[in-house]
Amino acid sequence: MKKIYIIIGIFFILIVLLLLIVIGTVILLLGIGENPAGNIARIDIDGVLTLQPEGTYPFREEISVEDYIEALDKAEMDPNIKAIILRVNSPGGEVIASEKLARKIKEVSEKKPVVAYVETIATSGAYMAIAPANCIVAEKHSIVGSIGVRMDVIQYYELMRKLGINVTVIKAGKYKDICSPYRPMTPEEKKYLEHMINETYIDFVRWVAENRNMTVEETLKVANGKIYSGYDAKKAGLVDYVGTEEDAVKIAQKLANISHPMVVDYTPHIYTGFFNLMSSLAYSLGYGIGKGFGEIWIETHTFYPPSVTY
């Protein structure tokens, strides 16, 4: 009799898990809810800007740049939304992620007024992203700027030598092991990488100059990696106003000619908890099975680049 109860209990648990997976899959496909009515969309841009957040999909709790772009698309296409406020708390991030978000914000700003509100920090790639906004408002003691590019190359050949560890690299192609942690970088390699970084830096400077109505020479004076308070950023020409979120709403209202502003949250969300785990698990299982039957993935000749960030 006891075995029967155990079997029934296990069967019941499996049914519940199956229902959760099915419901979770439907939610993933259809989305969770609709944006409530409003005429000003607010999108929070928080944390490091990345294309692929760390962690596997079921346990992802970070928002990617692709999520922000999707939110901007929705706000752009919604006829009820007349203006967009970007509430920024980001130190920047990956080069490509920052550039993709910047291009999207520029695209949207040419169709609807976009006001960027720097609540705590908008530096590096985050500043690049909001530079095309129609107006930038920053809190007096927020942090703005840090216009520059960096590349981090980790090398531990000295430690390996002390530990008696040796690595033999067999390569075809002169620069195939550039940035190798197993040996010192040659002056020629360093010069080559510096050239790449300088090209990226000049593109950053030109982007800021173009979108902030500054000359390249004026931008270069403030684009030395230095950070500014919101107050000093105003004097440097990097923001338009020193103010609060309420000020940002008033500016958006004026730019969009809105009589009664109603702010609605368009920020993409990652739903956490057991229910989200089940729904995400369903997606991951389906994706994994599809990959298993659809192809055999072989990775070879891989180059692991150093970290390059804004």
As a whole number of angstroms, the distance between CA 196 and CA 219 comes to 20
Would you name the residues annotated as active-site residues? 124, 176
- Note whether 47 and 268 are within 8 A (CB): no
pLDDT score recorded for residue 132:
97
- Note whether 104 and 86 are within 8 A (CB): no
pTM of the predicted model over 0.85: no
Q: Is the pLDDT of residue 273 over 80?
A: no
The DSSP code sequence of 214-265 is --HHHHHHH-SS-EEEHHHHHHHTS-SEE--HHHHHHHHHHHHT-SS--EEE
pLDDT score recorded for residue 3:
58
Segment 37-66 mean pLDDT: 79
Taking the CA atoms of the chain, what radius of gyration do you get in angstroms?
24
Q: What is the CATH T-level fold of the domain 34-274+282-309, as seen in this structure?
A: 2-enoyl-CoA Hydratase; Chain A, domain 1 (3.90.226)
- Close Cβ partners of 309 (under 8 Å, ≥ 6 residues apart): 92, 93, 94, 95, 124, 125, 149, 150, 152
For the stretch 93-152, pLDDT in tens is 999 999 999 999 999 999 999 999 999 999 999 999 999 999 999 999 999 999 999 888
pLDDT score recorded for residue 38:
82
At which residue do the structure tokens 């500016």 appear?
251
* Least confident window among 60-64, 170-174, 202-206: 60-64
pLDDT band at 308 (very low <50, low <70, confident <90, very high): low
pLDDT score recorded for residue 4:
62
pLDDT score recorded for residue 36:
56
- The full set of domain ranges for the chain reads 34-274+282-309
pLDDT score recorded for residue 169:
87
| 68, burial (CB in 10 Å: exposed 0-12, middle 13-18, buried 19+) | buried
As a whole number of angstroms, the distance between CA 101 and CA 250 comes to 24
For the stretch 237-264, pLDDT in tens is 999 999 999 999 999 999 999 999 999 9
Nearest CA-CA partner of 233 in 155, 141, 99, 97: 141
What distances in angstroms separate CA 23 from CA 31, 144, 273, 277, one per listed residue?
A: 11, 43, 15, 12
Segment 181-194 mean pLDDT: 92
